[in-house]
A = this chain, B = another copy of it.
Amino acid sequence: MSGRLSVVGLGPGDARYLTAEAVEALDAAHALYGYGPYLERVPERASQRRYASDNREERVRAAAALAHAAQGALVAVVSGGDPGVFAMAAAICEEIESGPESWRMLDVSIVPGITAMLAVAARIGAPLGHDFCALSLSDNLKPWHLIERRLDAAASAGFVIALYNPVSRARPWQFAAAIERLRRHLPPSTPVVFGRAVGRPDEQMDVVMLNAADATPADMATLVIVGSRETRVVDRPGRTPLVYTSRAVVEVSA
């Protein structure tokens, strides 16, 4: 009997972001694995077993799901946003590489989802309308000086920057340090978008300038987009402003 593993992107916290492919993969699964709050977003089915685990146990969860699928089950691992962006798909691939040979034979499919930066960008306009990068501020698995180097490289070359994992309880100072770093390269008036809990009832979007960004609250549910020299704010009477990055480039000094 041949099992199957799918890694399913749920998008941000609302069912309207689910793709048809994700709904189908969730429907077909015998067993669901995932971080508790993500599993809670999936409607219960009597025929499905659920295995909730903590957010930090990615590799253990990946190995358990692979072992289950290798026994012949249809297993779905659920992931917030897109599983391929700072989420479960890389952990699954890592476990396949280091695990038993039989895991390499498994039918594995990754079902993409709307990642946070796309949802936040859509809510505010089109800040990712030109060249951009996505950078995790977590220094759990990479040294802080490398994060600084990437901030320098991205800002000085004119990329818009989406910051994932800006703040956590264990990482209280990194976000302010990153903003300070970016100020070396970008004008104080550069637009910065804070998207918190996008797609959830407590969603909040804020647009500030870079010189005030370190004083703006951010947490684990916040995605921050730092603009480039081409990013513009369009005020609208009675509506939130639009923030977009123009496709035509202002020349950057060498």
B84 and A118: CB pair below 8 A?
Answer: yes
| A122, A152, A232, A237: most-surrounded residue (chain B CB, <10 A) | A122
How near does chain B come to A223, taking the closest CB pair, in angstroms? 13
B11, B111, B123, B130: which contacts A110 (Cβ < 8 A)?
Answer: B123
Q: How many copies does the complex hold?
A: 2
Chain B residues near A20 (CB, 8 Å)? 15-18
Q: Which residue of B lies closest to A125 (CB)?
A: B93
B248 and A105: CB pair below 8 A?
Answer: no
A122 and B83: CB pair below 8 A?
Answer: yes
Question: Please, how many angstroms separate the alpha-carbon atoms of A16 and B235 in the complex?
Answer: 36
A94 and B246: CB pair below 8 A?
Answer: yes
Interface residues of A in 17-74 (CB under 8 A from B): 17-21, 24
Residue A135 lies at the interface, judged by CB distance under 8 Å to chain B: yes
Residue A100 lies at the interface, judged by CB distance under 8 Å to chain B: no
How near does chain B come to A101, taking the closest CB pair, in angstroms? 8
How near does chain B come to A57, taking the closest CB pair, in angstroms? 14
Chain B residues near A105 (CB, 8 Å)? 236-239
Interface residues of A (CB under 8 A from B): 9, 11, 15-21, 24, 82-86, 89-94, 96-97, 104-105, 108-115, 118-119, 121-123, 125-136, 141-143, 146, 149-150, 152-154, 156-159, 232, 234-239, 242, 244-249, 251-252, 254
User: What 3 pairs across the A-B complex have the smallest Cβ distances?
Assistant: A90-B129, A133-B133, A93-B244
